[in-house]
Chain A
Amino acid sequence: MDKKNLILLKTLLLSTSRVNILKHSKDKKKKNKIIAAYVGLFFLYAMIMAYSILMCVGYGMMGIIDSVPAMCALVISSLAFVFTVFKTNGYLFNFKEYDMLMSLPFESSTIAGCKFLYMYIKTLPWYMSVSVAMLIGYAIFAGVGPVIWLYWILLSLFIPLIPMLAASFVGFIIARISSGFKKTNFIKTILAFVFIIFSFSLRYIIENFFENGRAEQTLENMSEATEKASGIYLPMGWFSDAVTKGNIISGLLLIVVSAALFLLLFRIVGRSYRNINSALKTHAAGGKFKMTTQKKRSLVTAIAYKEFRRMLGSTTYITNAAMGEVLAVILGVATLIFGFDVIVSKVTSGAPIDAAILQPAIPFIAYFLVGMMSTTSCSPSLEGKNYWIVQSMPIEKKTLYQGKMLFNMCLTVPFMVFTVLCLCISARVPVINTLLYIILGTALCAFSTAWGCVCGIKHMRLDWENEVEVIKQGPGVAWYMLPNMFVVMILVVLIVFLGVRIDHKILALIFTAIAGVLALISYKRALALAEKR
């Protein structure tokens, strides 16, 4: 790492540092928002830490505390891989200040490497929250000395590197392949979807590899599975060996291999960096347009259509916004082909659950996927520098957000209906129940849209450097996703529990009413917030 790398890395971090804004901004409101965002962030870190410590305590009480180091490496590696898969395209390629950086005397590999390190440092607090918490949990039961504490923390810094490099390498391959096509963005988006779906399926592929579908059901097998995983994914084993046996060689291996892979990857990426970015940032002007009859749209529809085009224009946006919809289609089709029972058994890893009792949860299962992300939670911020366009137009503020909400409804409802239909057909749900589930699913989508909009407007941020900052890391998205995910999980358990006692139709009606009221409250709140903008 030479001086120039450090200068660039420092500047990249400073340019998105909220502390820097806090220091130099004169806007009190902005400063208060930043402080609130920090408080929220620390709250999230604390939640993750508490969860990780409790998990270790559980392991300790079950007598499998020795599996914790390997589990820690596995959790961090998985998180690092998944986080990077979604971000790599926006961070490494096609970023806003590409022209400025490339015209300065930096090697292409330096720019790409620093962008990677920036991404790594920005996500490190999440990984370290898990690691430190698991170390505390491990130390309570295993009683480790101060050297191991230091060794654990030091090596934890390296655990995310290899999975992040692997995800970045795939991102590079995707960008390299798509840069050779005329429809660069389209190919890039398709390949990104294929890769993400493959990554999500990895769990099942690994399970099949172990040829033991019920591996995690017994404690012995859990420990055995962790050992097997360590044997396959070597860095996991190196970390575990280093902190449990104090093996210096294993620790060194983790550090050296991570560093070597970093250098190798960015040497390769640097060679075609300019070529890839040239292809991604420039497009041929066809110049063949002929004026034909143009369609007139209502104001709200026109805004919704604008949102649709915005999503299609960005691989990062579409892979994040539409991933749930794609997974919902896959689930629906898979259920039709293999049957509801088989899919339930697969997802619950063969747990003895009667698939029939899950029927009332069908709309929530579909919603869990399509409502995973709401475009309204980030689309207000995504206006960015273009916000002046809608601001200077004779559009009422609430109309702008109604358009954004309409788009999210158009995106989520058809996929929700398709998935609910597939699941209901496969599970042989009566027609009347199916219709009620579709209505409940629609109410949930309305809630997701309006609640997303509340979060999106409340945490609106227009001065971003890279759209990844608002799509993946924006507080609006975080405030939408986490409560939404937990609430849905709780509701699934609740509806399954109630489903054995109360008629499914009545249950669907009750939950539709609850979701409808929540959607209405959120909608009113979103419009009230819009007026203040």
Chain B
Amino acid sequence: MLEIKNYSKSYDGGKKAADNVTLTVESGDIYGFIGHNGAGKSTTIRAVVGVLDFDEGEILIDGHSVKDEPMECKKITAYIPDNPDLYENLTGIQYLNFVADVFDISAKDREEKIKKYADLFEITDALGDQISSYSHGMKQKVAIISALIHDPKLLVLDEPFVGLDPKATFTLKEIMHEMCDRGTAIFFSTHVLDVAEKLCNKVAIIKKGKIIAAGTMEELTEGHSLEEAFLEADNG
């Protein structure tokens, strides 16, 4: 579903923020992307979702090039940034309707989806309020619902659990499993290694823009914890 081939990105023509990154996320994968702060996770994710231009390599989503066919890619992708910048003066429901309109979702379908996910995240009552009155976690929940509204084939999340309460974290993990069972590919970055270990079937570790380890969870951990595997790869 997602193929990143020899992707490189340097800022201001200087140091490489991503250096020859190559990885593949198959349908049904929950792929964790881990690394230190500033390792290149967000740079890679932003290039995948078509926000950031890049210098070298190729990124394909369902066989479509992010560079050459961005619209084809975006139609089947959903992105949840780490700190979602939503339109603060819209109400939650106005924002969700905006995204649903962009993806041309029928009135019946959007009603169904919004109700389902808003109930799960327990924010139905707040949807009529302005986003500016929401807490960080509530904004995150609205961003998640907006990403799920069009049944994406690829879900890309940047630190999705930051700011979510324990119940919402659990709900999101359940939703991710459910989507994965339906064949959706999920690619997300996280610092929480425990979550990654329990949730992902594949993991890549990035350090200073380079992938230093990647594979299935079993291949990477070889009987150890992900934390140990991460520290070993990081020190190596």
Q: Which residues of A contact B (CB under 8 A)?
A: 4, 7-8, 11, 14-17, 20-21, 24-26, 96-100, 102-108, 182, 184, 274-275, 278-279, 282-287, 463, 465
B8 at the A interface (CB under 8 A):
no
Q: Which of A4, A16, A103, A278 contacts B53 (CB 8 A)?
A: A278
* B102 neighbours in A (Cβ, 8 Å): 4, 7-8, 104-106
Q: List residues of chain B with CB under 8 Å of any chain A CB.
A: 10-15, 17, 38, 43, 46, 49-53, 70-71, 74-75, 77, 79, 81, 84-91, 94, 98-99, 101-103, 128-130, 132-133
Interface contact B15-A284, CB-CB below 8 Å: yes
Q: Which residue of A lies closest to B104 (CB)?
A: A3
Per DSSP, are chain B's interface residues mostly helix, strand or loop, or mixed?
mixed
The reply to whether B71 and A105 contact each other, CB–CB distance below 8 Å, is: yes
Least CB distance from A271 to B in Å reads: 12
How far in angstroms is the closest Cβ of chain B from A238? 37
CB-nearest residue of chain A relative to B94? A14
- Report whether B77 and A103 are in contact in the complex, using a CB–CB cutoff of 8 Å: yes
Distance to closest chain B CB from A496 (angstroms)? 47
Is the CB–CB distance between A11 and B87 below 8 Å? yes
Q: Give which listed residue, B12, B51, B99, B103, contacts A99 with CB less than 8 A.
A: B51
CA distance A424 to B75 in the complex (A): 66
C-alpha spacing A103/B47, complex, angstroms:
10
Q: How many A-B residue pairs have CB under 8 A?
A: 105
Task: Give chain A residues whose Cβ lies under 8 Å from the Cβ of B70.
Answer: 107-108
| Contacting pair A100 B81 (CB below 8 A) | yes
Q: Is the beta-carbon distance between A463 and B88 smaller than 8 angstroms?
A: yes
Contact A20–B85 (Cβ < 8 Å): no
A463 engages B15 (CB within 8 Å): no
Q: A105-B103, A275-B53, A285-B15 are in contact. Are A99 and B85 (CB under 8 A)?
A: yes
Other-chain contact of B75, A15, A16, A102, A105 (Cβ < 8 Å): A105
Contact assessment for A102 and B50 in the assembled complex, using a CB-CB cutoff below 8 Å: yes
Asked whether, in the complex, the Cβ of B130 is within 8 Å of the Cβ of A25, the reply is: yes
Q: Is there contact, CB below 8 Å, between A24 and B130? A: yes
| Residues on A with beta carbons closer than 8 Å to the beta carbon of B74 | 103-106
CA distance A107 to B52 in the complex (A): 14
With a CB–CB cut-off of 8 A, which chain A residues contact B14? 182, 284, 286
Inter-chain contacts of A98 with B (CB < 8 A): 51
List of B residues within 8 angstroms of A24 by Cβ = 91, 128-130
Most chain B C-beta atoms within 10 Å of own C-beta, residue among A14, A96, A104, A465 = A104
What's the least CB distance linking A4 to chain B, in Å? 7
A283 contact from B12, B86, B88, Cβ within 8 A: B12
- Report the Cα distance A24→B128, complex, angstroms: 8
Which residue of the partner chain B has the closest CB to A464? Answer: B88
